[in-house]
């Protein structure tokens, strides 16, 4: 895929699908038409150049493909009439993607299907990328997406933002989706680049939209703060050659201070509400990290306490892994390693990277190199893989400082 087409795909795929779903009421039709539009762009843009409004070109071309397909398939007359109405519909509305998120996160769908389908339609992620984000096999993920689309079609699930009374029950799945989109952008599951700014920006945009929609829901604020504080570190996470820079070695003068200030302000608002939830606690942890002027000045004791709270409300193996990292900084690498060895995350590359770092710090160099190699094998992102392979080198142990690992 040419760079320009790929850029437009990453930035506009979700918007284009959402616009066509609103217009035609058919997810499969919308997605296939948008894919055909991008295929056409691949044929035309390299020679003639991208149009002045690439997103508008994609939506218009996709719309025409959809109408042509409806005509070819000789659908009912009212379907033809509905298709023609698209010409009188504005190309976008601010909440098209929000409608699509809530449609995909309808309670009639299983949670894993909600997440997978929204990542596919809103983020434009491929099946392998979503499978990696959700830590499931590709075949399983593909089946989930197909079944979810069929469920929406067969059950007549409406394409709209729920009524205010129904919003709280639907919020958890929506926040999970936005968080996973951000995570895929923050540490891309595939490709050469560590960070995909388009996905991070899209997730933050959706987070802001959700916060406007539900201003009294502290978890929407917590998620937005979490994403802002994590994204603020982005400029320092890779060096000039695109290599990963671990948190302890990052140049904190390059962090986005405006995003940090906004994130801290939202965290303080959440604390005043005193209705803690998983995203608010994670945001508070990131606030501690970004408040420290240096890695050595980080208040790891406070971070352990916050992870204790997080384990009380969201006791997952990944949370336990993160807590083990913090415990290792407070009580030493042996204590952290004991906690890590009690976890089972065999397909999660960060687990092996954390374990490798702790093994190295307790002097078990050969085991550490093997664990780094396993982590590198599982990592889908080239930047992470290069970093992990460098740590697996026999002479790499002399260059590692405490806490130098992939961000868990």
In this predicted structure, the answer to whether residue 80 has a pLDDT above a threshold of 60 is: no
Long-range contacts of 358-367 (CB under 8 A, 24+ apart): 358/324, 358/328, 358/333, 360/391, 360/397, 360/400, 361/328, 361/333, 361/400, 361/402, 362/333, 362/334, 362/337, 365/397
Enumerate the β-bridge partners of residue 244: 238
Distance, CA of 168 to CA of 174 (rounded, Å): 10
Whether residue 73 has pLDDT greater than 90:
no
Per-residue pLDDT of 36-55, as tens digits, reads 999 999 999 988 788 989 98
- Please give the average per-residue pLDDT across 358-378, as a whole number: 94
Name, of 158-162, 169-173, 242-246, 250-254, the range with top average pLDDT.
250-254
Query: How far is Cα 9 from Cα 5, in angstroms, rounded to an integer?
Result: 6
Number of alpha carbons in the 13 Å side-chain half-sphere of residue 119: 32
Q: Which of 68-72, 185-189, 236-240, 273-277 has the highest mean pLDDT?
A: 273-277
How many alpha carbons fall within 13 Å on the CB side of residue 116?
25
User: Cβ distance 306 to 284 under 8 Å?
Assistant: yes
Q: Please give the Cα distance from 143 to 132 (Å, whole number).
A: 15
Question: In this structure, what DSSP letter does residue 239 have?
Answer: -
- Percentage of residues of the chain with pLDDT beyond 70: 88
- Name which residue leads in pLDDT, 242 or 94: 242
Q: What angle do CA 8, 11, 3 make, to 5 degrees?
A: 35
């Amino acid at each position: 895929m040419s760079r320009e087409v790929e850029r437009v795909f990453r930035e506009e795929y979700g918007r284009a699908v959402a616009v066509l779903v609103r217009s035609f009421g058919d997810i499969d039709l919308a997605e296939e038409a948008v894919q055909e539009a991008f295929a056409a762009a691949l044929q035309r843009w390299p020679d003639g150049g991208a149009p002045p409004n690439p997103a508008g070109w994609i939506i218009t071309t996709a719309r025409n493909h959809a109408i042509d397909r409806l005509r070819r398939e000789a659908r009912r007359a009212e379907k033809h009439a509905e298709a023609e109405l698209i010409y009188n519909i504005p190309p976008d509305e601010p909440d098209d993607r929000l409608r699509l998120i809530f449609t995909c996160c309808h309670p009639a769908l299983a949670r894993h299907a909600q997440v997978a389908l929204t990542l596919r339609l809103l983020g434009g992620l491929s099946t392998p990328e979503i499978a990696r984000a959700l830590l499931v096999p590709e075949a399983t993920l593909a089946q989930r997406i197909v079944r979810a689309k069929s469920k929406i079609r067969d059950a007549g699930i409406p394409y709209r933002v729920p009524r205010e009374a129904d919003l709280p029950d639907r919020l958890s799945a929506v926040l999970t989706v936005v968080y996973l989109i951000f995570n895929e952008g923050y540490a891309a599951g595939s490709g050469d680049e560590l960070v995909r700014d388009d996905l991070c920006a899209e997730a933050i945009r959706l987070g802001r939209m959700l916060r406007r929609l539900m201003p009294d829901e502290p978890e929407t604020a917590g998620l937005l703060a979490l994403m802002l504080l994590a994204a603020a570190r982005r400029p320092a996470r890779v060096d000039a050659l695109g290599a990963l820079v671990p948190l302890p070695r990052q140049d904190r003068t390059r962090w986005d201070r405006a995003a940090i200030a906004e994130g801290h302000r939202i965290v303080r608002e959440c604390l005043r509400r005193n209705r803690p939830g998983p995203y608010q606690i994670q945001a508070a942890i990131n606030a501690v990290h970004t408040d420290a002027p240096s890695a050595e000045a980080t208040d790891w004791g406070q971070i352990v306490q916050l992870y204790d709270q997080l384990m009380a409300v969201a006791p997952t193996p990944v949370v336990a892994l993160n807590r083990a990292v913090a415990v290792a900084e407070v009580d030493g690498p042996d204590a952290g390693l004991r906690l890590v060895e009690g976890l089972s995350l065999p397909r999660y590359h960060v687990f092996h990277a954390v374990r490798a770092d702790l093994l190295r710090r307790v002097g078990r160099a050969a085991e550490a190199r093997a664990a780094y190699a396993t982590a590198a094998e599982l990592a889908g992102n080239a930047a992470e893989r290069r970093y992990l392979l460098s740590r697996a080198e026999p002479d790499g142990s002399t260059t590692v400082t405490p806490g130098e690992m992939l961000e868990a």
